[in-house]
């Protein structure tokens, strides 16, 4: 039988994890409870984070918005601050699973689960997020672009918890976009998921950031595409170039949800369409 430890504050949670880094952190449990029944190994002990108040909530500062790890996607999707500052994240939150999942699933769980198809992850990449990890040694700030180090592997140490994510407030005039391609509108894991942030100054792209999921072993920031597109005039030609460069930059795989060919095709189309939103 699985043992559950239920700390009531962050200090207690970190100290329990420090004493036993084999404890499995548990938030909404929407990933932990649905592991493959064949391969499922019983978890020896879980660290239930749901009563740790410090890990939950959205706080707006002058330069950044911080979202606690156990904040649910329902809370993120209905936050006026997130909608105003980070509409791409609000949109992603509202298409993760269905309402029931959004009421339980947390941002920290989506990040730590580290699925290449995790819908919030490309958004965090284009928003230049910083992940704040906590342990008994204090806090460690990790640029989100350095967090996903391999297929379902992250930069988090076993003695660390994800404490929060810090999102720098974008320069006024920045446009954000998010698109997920799945089998259905709801309750569908992405075949391809794309996030973009762009800003136009005097007809040219002063900023252009692009990230995608489900097209590589980790969610990816498409830095080479960004470098080729930044500085160009906005318009059909640039949008089409962005799409074809994105397609050339990834090597998706065939799996139960889609084929490599469809993923590459869909990525090109979606990148083109999102980039057209900058006109």
Ligand X SMILES: Cc1cc2nc3c(=O)[nH]c(=O)nc-3n(C[C@H](O)[C@H](O)[C@H](O)COP(=O)(O)OP(=O)(O)OC[C@H]3O[C@@H](n4cnc5c(N)ncnc54)[C@H](O)[C@@H]3O)c2cc1C
Query: According to DSSP H, which parts of 54-202 are helical?
Result: 73-77, 80-85, 87-94, 99-104, 107-113, 120-126
State residue 53 phi and psi, 5-degree precision.
-60, -35
State how far the alpha carbon of 210 is from the alpha carbons of 16, 35, 79, 227, 268, in Å: 39, 31, 24, 10, 12
Q: Which of 67, 123, 124, 189 binds ligand X (CB under 6 A)?
A: 189
Q: Which string of x and - marks every residue 106-135 that binds ligand X (by CB under 6 A)?
A: x-xxx-xx----xx----------------
Q: Which residue of this chain has its Cβ atom nearest to ligand X in the complex?
A: 109
CB 165 to ligand X: min, Å:
10
**Burial of 142 from C-beta contacts in 10 A (0-12 / 13-18 / 19+):** middle
CB 235 to ligand X: min, Å:
33
Residues from 153 through 172 that contact ligand X (CB under 6 A): 161-162
Q: Which string of x and - marks every residue 16-55 that binds ligand X (by CB under 6 A)?
A: --------xxxxxxxxx-x--------------x------
Distance CA 131, CA 143 (A): 6
By CB under 6 A, is residue 258 in contact with ligand X?
Answer: no
Residue count, binding to ligand X (CB under 6 A): 29
State how far the alpha carbon of 106 is from the alpha carbons of 16, 39, 50, 145, in Å: 21, 24, 10, 20
Residues that bind ligand X (CB under 6 A): 24-32, 34, 49, 69, 96-97, 101, 104-106, 108-110, 112-113, 118-119, 161-162, 187, 189
């Amino acid at each position: 039988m699985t043992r559950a430890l239920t700390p009531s504050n962050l200090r207690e949670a970190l100290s329990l994890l420090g004493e036993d880094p084999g404890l499995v952190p548990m938030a909404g449990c929407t990933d932990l409870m649905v592991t493959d029944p064949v391969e499922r190994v019983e978890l020896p002990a879980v660290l239930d984070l749901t009563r740790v108040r410090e890990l939950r909530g959205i706080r707006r500062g002058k330069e950044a918005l911080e979202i606690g790890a156990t904040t649910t996607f329902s809370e993120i999707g209905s936050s006026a601050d997130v909608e105003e500052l980070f509409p791409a994240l609000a949109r992603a939150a509202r298409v993760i699973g269905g309402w029931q999942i959004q009421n339980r699933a947390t941002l920290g769980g989506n990040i730590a689960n580290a699925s290449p198809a995790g819908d919030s992850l490309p958004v965090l990449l284009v928003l230049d997020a910083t992940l704040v990890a906590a342990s008994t040694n204090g806090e460690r700030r990790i640029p989100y672009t350095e967090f996903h180090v391999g297929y379902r592997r992250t930069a988090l140490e076993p003695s660390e918890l994800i404490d929060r994510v810090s999102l720098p407030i974008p320069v006024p005039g920045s446009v954000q976009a998010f698109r997920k391609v799945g089998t259905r509108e709801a309750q569908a894991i992405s075949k391809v998921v794309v996030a973009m942030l762009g800003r136009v100054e005097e007809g040219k792209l002063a900023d252009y950031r692009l990230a995608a999921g489900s097209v590589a072993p980790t969610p990816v920031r498409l830095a080479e595409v960004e470098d080729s597109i930044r500085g160009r005039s906005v318009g059909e030609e640039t949008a089409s170039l962005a799409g074809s460069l994105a397609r050339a930059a990834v090597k998706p795989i065939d799996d139960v949800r889609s084929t490599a060919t469809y993923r590459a095709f869909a990525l090109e189309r979606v990148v083109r369409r999102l980039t057209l939103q900058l006109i």
